[in-house]
Amino acid sequence: KAGVTQTPRYLIKTRGQQVTLSCSPISGHRSVSWYQQTPGQGLQFLFEYFSETQRNKGNFPGRFSGRQFSNSRSEMNVSTLELGDSALYLCASSLASDGTDTIYFGEGSWLTVV
Amino acid sequence: KQEVTQIPAALSVPEGENLVLNCSFTDSAIYNLQWFRQDPGKGLTSLLLIQSSQREQTSGRLNASLDKSSGRSTLYIAASQPGDSATYLCAAPSNTGNQFYFGTGTSLTVIP
C-alpha cells in the first residue's frame, strides 16, 4: 500500500512569505504528526492531529499552524517566514495516537528561506 | 520531559563487522522504543519497534534490545554491509503517546 506522501518535496521561499505543506497519511491511519529537522536541533515535534483534532503541539511560535481534514490528510502552514525556518519538514502517520504503533514517515518537504 | 541520547555520533567500520548502536532515555515509563534509519536527503524508515513488554526484537540482520530499568536500548547490526551506511535514530514516545522524542542519531559508514 502507498506510504506517507508529502508535497511539495522542495521549495524556496523569501523571508516574510508564507508556505503550506501537505501530507497524505497511509490509508487507514488517523494520526498525523509533523516534525522539523535541522542540522543543529535534530528532529523537533511540531504538532499531532487525530480525527481532525490537534492533540499536542510542540514549542514553536504561533506562525506554525496546521490542520487535518476528514480524510486524514493534513496541512501545515508557516507564516511570515524567517531564515531559521529553513529545514526538512517531516510528516508521520500511525494507526493509533497513543504511541503503541509504529510511526511511518514521508520523504519530507525541503524548505529553503532566502 | 523525555530526553534521548545516542552515542556515538558517528561510527566507521569495515564491511562484515558486527556493531552496536546505543540509545539512552531518561524516562523509563515508555510504551515502546523505535529505531529508524535515515539516508541522506530522505525521510525516516522504520526499522524496529520494541514494545515495553519485550526485551528484544529482530528483523533480519538487525536486533534491538530494550532495558527500561536502565533507560537503554541497543541496535545490533550483524555482518555490516556498505548499504547499511546511513544515520540511525531512536525515538521514545511521550507519556501521552502522541509525540516522539528523537535522539540526534548515529551516522554509520561501512567501508567496503
Q: What is the pLDDT of residue A76?
A: 98
Half-sphere exposure of B11 (CA within 13 A, CB side): 24
pLDDT in tens, B10-24: 999 999 999 999 999
Q: Give the integer Cα–Cα distance in Å for A93 and B45.
A: 12
Q: With contacts defined as CB-CB under 8 Å, which chain A residues touch B36?
A: 105
| C-beta atoms of A50 and B105 within 8 A | no
- Alpha-carbon separation of residue B75 from A6, B33, B63, B72 (angstroms): 29, 11, 6, 10
pLDDT in tens, A40-89: 889 999 999 999 999 999 999 999 999 999 999 999 999 999 999 999 99
**Residue B41 banded pLDDT, cuts 50, 70, 90:** confident
pLDDT in tens, B67-83: 999 999 999 999 999 99
* B96 to chain A: closest CA residue: A98
Q: What is the DSSP string of A57-112?
A: E-S--TTEEEEE-TTS-EEEEE-S--GGG-EEEEEEEES-SSS-S--EE---EEEE
A67 touches A74 (CB < 8 A): yes
| C-beta atoms of A103 and B31 within 8 A | no
DSSP B3: -
| C-beta atoms of A99 and B98 within 8 A | yes
